[in-house]
Amino acid sequence: MSEAKKVLGVYGAGSSHWVGDGFPVRTVFPSRGVSDLSPFLMLDYAGPARFEPSSRPRGVEQHPHRGFETVTIAYQGSVDHRDSGGNSGTIHPGDVQWMTAASGVVHEEKHGNDFTAKGGDFEMAQLWVNLPAAHKMAKPRYQGLASADIPRVDLGPGAYARIIAGELNGVHGPARTFTPVNVFDVRLEANGKGELRLPAEQNSAIVLLRGELIVNGTETLKGTARIAPLSRDGETVTLEAKTESLILVLSGEPINEPVASYGPFVMNTQAELRQAVEDYQAGRMGRV
């Protein structure tokens, strides 16, 4: 039998703030006690929040990124995206937007027109995934992953995973990645139980967005925006939900390179960060 991964701790969100006027977020990591989950850099959980109908889309105006990828997962509401590479699209509940900023992208993110007009409940998660030095200055790319194209794997009674990236039980997710990464959108009904395998020697974590969950029969995560990093040793993880629970499961091969970050730029050196700021200010990353 495979060894179970150990839960290294349970931590709450490190901060709560607004991004623009459309995204009330809690930063799940980096947070108290959770600083190194390479290749993952950050996870923001937006909502759940209620928005009234509006004549003007709320959100974030044009801003740059370089050196990493943003992964936006839609649970409730919708988001419109436009970027300097000419890409655009709307993600609705169940959809995922995987944007590789790489050498540089300027984009805007706003509530979708339908959601703006009607209002309603809004809930999203945005994950930042680092790129290795060899790909930080690659050509940007955009992957709009429709809900219908994201395969589902049953984990047990009342439990399933949607495979956004990576592989589980021989089922592969549609996202193309630069390094080995697993991103699973996991749902459990009340009293649902499931088991999954994650590769040994990768950094991994269970993120409870909302609900109440017992991991490996011992550690309880309850409420919203909670994270439980896991040991690199072992492969199996068991999940048991006391109430209906929404979870992200992350694992990835560490990128063992220096990290230098400044706001929307993540590079390897301070000199590269200065160049990123200069390139953006000079318009070399384009405009929306």
Query: In total, how many domains does the chain have?
Result: 1
Instruction: List, as one string, the DSSP characters of 101-136.
Output: -TT-EEEEEEE-HHHHHH-EEEEEEEEEEE--GGGT
Q: Is residue 82 part of a domain?
A: yes
Q: Is residue 5 part of a domain?
A: no
Please give the pLDDT value at position 35.
83
pLDDT greater than 80 at residue 267:
yes
Q: Is residue 245 part of a domain?
A: yes
Q: Is residue 247 part of a domain?
A: yes
In the structure encoding, which two tokens stand for residue 166, read together?
A: 């990576």
How confident is the model over 31-62, as pLDDT tens digits? 878 888 999 999 999 989 999 999 999 999 99
Ramachandran assignment for 117, one of left (phi > 0), alpha (psi -120 to 50 degrees), beta (any other): alpha
Among 26, 84, 81, which Cα is nearest to 59's?
81
Q: Is residue 237 part of a domain?
A: yes
Please give the pLDDT value at position 1.
60
Q: Is residue 69 part of a domain?
A: yes
How confident is the model over 206-224, as pLDDT tens digits? 999 999 999 999 999 999 9
**What domain range includes position 31?**
11-281
User: Which amino acid, one-letter code, is at 222?
Assistant: K
Instruction: Indicate the average pLDDT of the chain.
Output: 96
Q: Is residue 288 part of a domain?
A: no
CATH number assigned to the domain comprising residue 179: 2.60.120.10
CA–CA separation, 56 and 51 (whole Å):
12
How confident is the model over 56-95, as pLDDT tens digits? 999 999 999 999 999 999 999 999 999 999 999 999 999 9
2 — pLDDT class (breaks 50, 70, 90):
confident
Other CB atoms within a 10 A radius of the CB of residue 174 amount to 15
